[in-house]
């Protein structure tokens, strides 16, 4: 999943490769409600809890209908085509308010977590024994905003659409990775219509997806907007559909100026009785995009009569957070983001030097300089798997190192042991971002104190990702971030640490250029294990990799600190994605 916009040093990439372990249906949640601090045990708990029997309609006690919710944000919406929406904001707005898919997440206020429940399907899907076939049954009486009924064939078309990497370069590619024909079928626009597409079989109201590789996580992929129904025809042409996707959910597109503003108005065709999670109390949503950060904070801080029904899904400025908290208008929560520093495994070959870096990194200073709020938008940790991920093991690869603390003396001692005092550390920073420069200053100061010779390499926000993705860039440390698409170790280790063909210029998200055939073999083995054993096996692998090889170290886990006006109710954090719980929002007039 991608962040709302590329952020310096994080610029997270999509987790779109192999994922094999599924949620096991056991809810783990000792949540604390919508407290001032995010629940640090939940970050990776991206909807492991499931409830296949939940039915609509949903009502909220005391909620009143009506009102207009204004949403302000500094970033634009890059594309609203359901097949291509893969940023935090686009995905969550579409699935929360506009388009429906097979499954969806519902917010559980008691445990402060998300529960996977059916949406257009009557259950959470029925796999065969080896997870190579998944069948979903469409509910009766579902229609699009124009009144035409949703047909099972529309799911076949959307599945075919999700294969088209050329028409939708930014969309998630799970269909290509798992479905039958993923390597041959090119999609309806790049290829020859639906010719050659045989991954979907329709039988009455039953839609069956056929996989080339076992895909136990299909029920999560089925919650993406890309898996919702899309009618074949001229209306769903990519150029057109990105401006006006047909709504099946409670709201449809009104006036939409790409990257600038979006108006969502009621969709009278939506029937709450068919929907186990969505409510639709506000009459209208107005998205005001590309608002200056200082202005956005000011609007929410002042909370004047006109702006009381306003909310934002951006993090508020650290300086204002105390004020929002005191006013009781802050929504905090965590989401499965791990930010890390990845020393180049082929250049920094001595594990002691990599460990010394972890001691020398200025966690606190970098948080302050980068505008993070310690304990809220930045949580310390040592494991690659964020808290809450199934099977996550409690361990510390550096027993003497308190996660999130800096110890330059210990780093110096390790460097002396490795006979590498004055070791040159080259890393990228964005010189056109004020916080990027300040974070760089903090890192340089701390590494120098620890006995390294830091050589920051300036680049721009625009060039950062491509320079980082080029294995030949003259740097020996890369900073990265990763957001899981669903709660499974399989969406973390293979994309981040499976060896890639660096010689051919392919780095992928393996920022540390990690290359250990033994670990590759273990990953392969885990993916063939019985599903219920996989979670713990990933947790073990985390321990093995970090303790024995230490290819990267965690700089922070992600959290969000959003704010809303005094008339907004039900703005909690969807911890699968770090966005507001759209389905629960209402206006208190």
Q: How far is the CB of 405 from another protein (least distance, A)?
A: 10
Segment 84-123, which members bind another protein (CB under 8 A)?
none
- Asked if residue 113 lies in contact with residue 575, where contact means CB atoms within 8 angstroms, the answer is yes
Considering CB under 8 A, how many residues would be counted as binding another protein? 40
Q: Which residue has the tokens 């093991």?
A: 393
Contact pick of 254, 258, 272, 371 for another protein (by CB under 8 A): 371
Distance between CA atoms of 249 and 270, rounded to whole angstroms? 6
CB of 40 to another protein, least distance (A): 15
Residue 321 sits in the site that holds another protein (CB under 8 A): yes
The residue (of 432 and 540) whose beta carbon lies closer to another protein is 432
Q: Which is nearer to another protein, 236 or 406 (CB)?
A: 406
Best CA proximity match to 12, nearest among 347, 561, 496: 496
∠ Cα 18 277 114 (to 5°): 50
- Tokens describing residue 538: 């990933």
Asked whether position 54 contacts another protein by CB under 8 A, the answer is no
Judged by beta carbon, residue 44 or residue 559, the one nearer another protein is: 559
Q: Can you tell me the distance from the alpha carbon of 395 to that of 392, in angstroms, rounded to the nearest whole number?
A: 9
* Secondary structure (3-state) at 33: coil
Q: Which of 137, 158, 297, 555 binds another protein (CB under 8 A)?
A: 297
- Of 194, 212, 318, 529, the residue at the interface with another protein (CB under 8 A) is 318
Q: 427 - beta bridge partners? A: 456, 477
CB-nearer residue toward another protein: 227 or 410: 410
Q: Which of 27, 375, 403, 508 forms a contact with another protein (CB under 8 A)?
A: 375
CA distances (Å), 482 to each of 3, 16, 495, 496, 553, in order? 9, 11, 10, 8, 13
Joined tokens for residue 266: 């009621």
Q: Judged by CB, which is closer to another protein: 418, or 457? A: 457
* Residue 320 makes contact with another protein by CB under 8 A: yes
How many Å apart are CA 238 and CA 215, to the nearest integer? 28
Q: Is 40 in the site for another protein (CB under 8 A)?
A: no
C-alpha distances (whole Å) from 466 to each of 33, 166, 507, 551 are: 40, 19, 11, 21
Contact with another protein (CB under 8 A): which of 24, 123, 206, 365? 365
| Interaction mask 398-437, another protein, x per CB under 8 A | ---------------------------------xx-xx-x
- Could you give the C-alpha distances from 313 to 74, 75, 258, 267, 453, in angstroms and in order? 9, 10, 18, 23, 39
Closer CB to another protein, 178 or 429, in the complex: 429
Quick one: which of 83, 112, 446, 512 contacts another protein (CB under 8 A)? 446
Is 368 one of the binding residues for another protein (CB under 8 A)? yes
Furthest-apart CA atoms within the chain: distance in Å: 73
From residue 450 to residue 489, the character string flagging contacts with another protein as x (rule: CB under 8 A) and all else as - is: -----xxxxxx--x--------------------------
Reading the block at residue 100, the tokens are 């429906």
- Give 577's strand partners: none
In the shown chain, the binding pattern of residues 249 to 288 toward another protein, with x for contact by CB under 8 A and - for none, equals ----------------------------------------
Cα 464 off chain centre by: 20
Separation of alpha carbons 112 and 406, rounded Å: 32
Say whether 307 sits in a helix, a strand or coil.
Answer: helix
Q: Can you read off the two tokens belonging to residue 337?
A: 């983001």
Report the nearest approach of another protein to the CB of residue 435 (Å). Answer: 7
133 counts as binding another protein under rule CB under 8 A:
no
Partners of 87 in the β-ladder: 2
The span of 228-236, 265-273, 391-399, 438-446 binding another protein (CB under 8 A) equals 438-446
In the list 7, 317, 348, 554, the residue contacting another protein (rule: CB under 8 A) is 317
In the bound complex, what is the minimum distance in angstroms from residue 374's beta carbon to another protein? 5
Residue in 11, 280, 442, 585 binding another protein, rule: CB under 8 A: 442
Distance of alpha carbon 276 from its chain centroid, rounded? 23
- Closest to 114 (Cα-Cα) out of 172, 48, 65, 159: 48
CB of 434 to another protein, least distance (A): 5
Judged by CB under 8 A, does residue 294 bind another protein?
yes
- Nearer residue to another protein within complex by CB, 146 or 424: 424
Taking CB under 8 A as the binding criterion, the range among 112-120, 187-195, 337-345, 362-370 that sits at the site for another protein is 362-370
Q: Which of 291, 301, 418, 529 binds another protein (CB under 8 A)?
A: 301
284-288 β-sheet, strand order: 251-257, 261-266, 284-288, 68-72, 310-312
Distant-in-sequence, close-in-space partners of 329: CB < 8 Å, separation ≥ 6: 300, 303, 563, 564, 565, 566
7 binds another protein (CB under 8 A): no
- For position 132 contacting another protein by CB under 8 A, the verdict is no
Strands laid side by side in the 206-210 sheet: 126-127, 133-137, 206-210, 200-203
Interface stretch with another protein, choices 170-178, 343-351, 365-373, 542-550 (CB under 8 A): 365-373
Contact residues: another protein, CB under 8 A = 293-294, 297-298, 301, 317-322, 362, 364-365, 368-369, 371, 373-375, 431-432, 434-435, 437-438, 441-442, 444-446, 448-449, 455-460, 463
């Amino acid at each position: 999943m991608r962040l709302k916009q590329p952020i310096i040093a994080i610029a997270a990439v999509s987790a779109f490769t192999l994922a094999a372990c599924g949620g096991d249906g056991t809810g783990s949640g000792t949540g604390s409600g919508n407290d001032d601090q995010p629940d640090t045990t939940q970050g990776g708990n991206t909807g492991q809890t499931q409830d296949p029997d939940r039915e609509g309609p949903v009502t909220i006690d005391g909620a009143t209908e009506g009102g207009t919710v204004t949403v302000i944000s500094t970033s634009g919406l890059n594309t609203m085509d359901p097949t291509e929406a893969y940023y935090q904001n686009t995905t969550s707005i579409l699935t929360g308010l506009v388009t429906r898919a097979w499954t969806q997440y519902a917010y559980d206020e008691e445990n402060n977590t998300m529960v996977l429940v059916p949406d257009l399907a009557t259950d959470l899907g029925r796999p065969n024994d080896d997870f190579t076939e998944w069948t979903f049954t469409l509910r009766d009486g579902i229609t699009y905003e124009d009144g035409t009924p949703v047909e099972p064939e529309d799911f076949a078309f959307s599945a075919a659409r999700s294969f088209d990497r050329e028409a939708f370069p930014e969309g998630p590619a799970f269909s290509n990775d798992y479905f039958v024909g993923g390597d041959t079928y090119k999609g309806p626009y790049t290829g020859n219509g639906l010719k050659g597409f045989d991954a979907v079989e329709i039988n009455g109201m039953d839609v069956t997806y056929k996989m080339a590789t076992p895909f136990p996580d299909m029920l999560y992929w089925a919650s993406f907007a890309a898996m919702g129904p899309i009618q074949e025809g001229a209306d769903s042409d990519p150029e057109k559909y990105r401006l006006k996707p047909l709504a099946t959910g409670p709201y449809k597109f009104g006036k939409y100026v790409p990257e600038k503003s979006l108006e969502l108005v009621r969709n009278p065709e939506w029937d709450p009785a068919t929907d186990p999670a969505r409510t639709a109390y506000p009459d209208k949503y107005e998205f005001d995009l590309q608002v200056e950060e200082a202005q956005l904070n000011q609007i929410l801080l002042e909370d004047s009569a006109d702006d009381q029904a306003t909310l934002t899904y951006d993090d508020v400025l650290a300086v204002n957070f105390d004020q929002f908290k005191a006013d009781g208008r802050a929504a905090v929560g965590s989401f499965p983001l791990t930010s890390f520093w990845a020393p180049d495994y082929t250049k920094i070959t001595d594990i002691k030097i990599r460990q010394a870096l972890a001691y020398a990194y200025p966690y606190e200073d970098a948080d302050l300089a980068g505008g993070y709020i310690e304990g809220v938008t930045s949580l310390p940790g040592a494991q690659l798997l964020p808290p809450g991920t199934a099977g996550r093991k409690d361990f510390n690869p550096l027993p003497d190192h308190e996660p999130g603390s800096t110890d330059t003396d210990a780093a110096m001692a390790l460097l002396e042991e490795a006979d590498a005092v004055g070791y040159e550390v080259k890393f990228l920073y964005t010189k056109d971002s004020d916080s990027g420069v300040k974070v760089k200053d903090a890192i340089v100061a701390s590494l120098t104190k620890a006995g390294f010779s830091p050589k920051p390499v300036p680049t721009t926000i625009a060039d950062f990702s491509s320079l980082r993705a080029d294995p030949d860039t003259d740097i020996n440390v890369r900073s990265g971030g990763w957001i899981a698409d669903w709660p499974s170790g399989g969406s973390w280790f293979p994309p981040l640490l499976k060896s890639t063909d660096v010689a051919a210029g392919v780095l992928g998200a393996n920022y540390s250029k990690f290359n250990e055939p033994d670990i590759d073999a273990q990953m392969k083995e885990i993916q063939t294990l019985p599903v219920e054993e996989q979670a713990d096996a990933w947790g073990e692998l985390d321990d093995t990799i970090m303790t024995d090889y230490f290819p990267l170290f965690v700089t922070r886990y992600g959290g969000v600190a959003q704010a809303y006006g005094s008339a907004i109710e039900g703005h909690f954090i969807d911890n699968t994605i770090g966005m507001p719980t759209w389905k629960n929002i209402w206006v208190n007039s």
